[in-house]
Structure 1
């Protein structure tokens, strides 16, 4: 139980710090927000897909693992950490898409304990 509480408090502190950072960056007029990383679009899709597959569980962490491009196909890989009522687990999600059109061709899920 103590580990869950420490994990929650750590997560909460990261969220608070993340919310405070943009406030300090936007202090001066005329500052533009940094552009989203190239994987942001795919990260949003990964979160949506995992939430749809595991509707009873809560996504508590998110990691962009990397991108691989082979000929006409690109694969974006993410690892999401989920909490349910009875367990915590990770889901590695690979989003396959056509490099030119960005049309999704396949989505693969793999549960992991770490």
Structure 2
């Protein structure tokens, strides 16, 4: 009986879910969501991290695509590009580009 209890504990710890580490773009994703909400005020229904581009040693961009829904039910996408200094994390610009796709 004891071995069944020990086996049960081992199995539960072996398959326990460990929290995933936060992705490197999480800070920028939160900023993209907050700034999009400020600018548009519509619910965000989907989110995609497009990727990071290094422009130079002191300049990088994180790009996200957010999908929003207007009060009339119509949906549209917004590409949000955050340009920043990857050494200091100082934001230079935040750009928005609307799309229907």
What TM-score bracket applies, with the shorter chain setting the length? 0.7 to 0.9
Q: Tell me, what secondary structure is at the counterpart of 2:33?
A: helix
Question: Which runs of no fewer than 5 residues in structure 1 stay unpaired?
Answer: 1-26
* Superposition deviation, residue 67 in structure 1: 0.4
What are the within-5 Å matches in structure 2 for residues 17-56 of structure 1?
Answer: 28=13, 32-55=18-41
1:68 aligned partner: 53
Deviations 1:72-114 (A, max 9, x none): 1110000000001122100000000011100000000000001
The alignment of Structure 1 onto Structure 2 pairs a total of residues equal to: 87
What are the within-5 Å matches in structure 2 for residues 84-99 of structure 1?
Answer: 84-86=70-72, 87-99=74-86
* Superposition deviation, residue 32 in structure 1: 3.4
Higher RCO, Cα 8 Å, sep 6+:
2
Distance 1:47 1:40 in 2: 11
Larger Rg computed on CA atoms: 2
Distance 2:66 2:79 in 1: 6
User: TM-score, normalization: structure 2?
Assistant: 0.80
Are 1:100 and 2:100 matched, yes or no? Answer: no
Q: CA RMSD in A?
A: 1.5
* Superposition deviation, residue 28 in structure 1: 3.4
